[in-house]
Amino acid sequence: MLSLIVHALGLARSIYGALKHDDDFLALLVSLVICLSGGTVFYTLAEGWPWLDALYFCVMTVATIGSDLSPATPVAKVFTMVYLFTGVGLFYGVVFKILVQIVQRNSIANAIKGVHK
């Protein structure tokens, strides 16, 4: 179990190292954080939800998991429809960049292993 955690942390560190210099990834990540923050503020003000509930709803929405919360006001329902398209696109853009980095790392590692056999 400990070796799995160490391996996962090493992978996360190497992916972070590669992606921190990727301007597209940084733009996507910053945009996602702004989207989540804006949605949290909106739902707190429009629906009267506590901050944590609003953030929870935003994260569950952009990750397309779903939530036990749902907007009640017409303006919040319209906002949610627009928010879905924006947030889901940003979320999966970030996930795609991370997955590409993992695949590239594994391809390089496998190529190195093949050379050293």
Task: Give the pLDDT confidence of 17-64 residue by residue, as tens digits.
Answer: 767 777 888 899 899 999 999 999 999 999 999 999 999 999 999 998
Residue 104 has pLDDT above 70, yes or no: yes
- Residue 116 is given by DSSP the state T
- Residue 56 is given by DSSP the state H
Per residue in 67-103, pLDDT (tens digit) is 889 999 999 999 999 999 999 999 999 889 888 888 8
Q: What is the pTM of this model?
A: 0.76
Q: Is the dihedral of CA 65, 71, 74, 76 positive or negative?
A: negative
Residue 11 has pLDDT above 80, yes or no: no
Residue 117 has pLDDT above 80, yes or no: no
Radius of gyration of the chain (CA): 19
Angle at which helix 74-115 crosses helix 51-62, to 10 degrees, equals 60
Angle at which helix 23-47 crosses helix 51-62, to 10 degrees, equals 130
Q: What is the pLDDT of residue 111?
A: 63
Give CA–CA dist 88/75, Å, rounded: 20
Q: What is the pLDDT of residue 90?
A: 94
Question: Is 68 or 15 the better-scoring residue by pLDDT?
Answer: 68
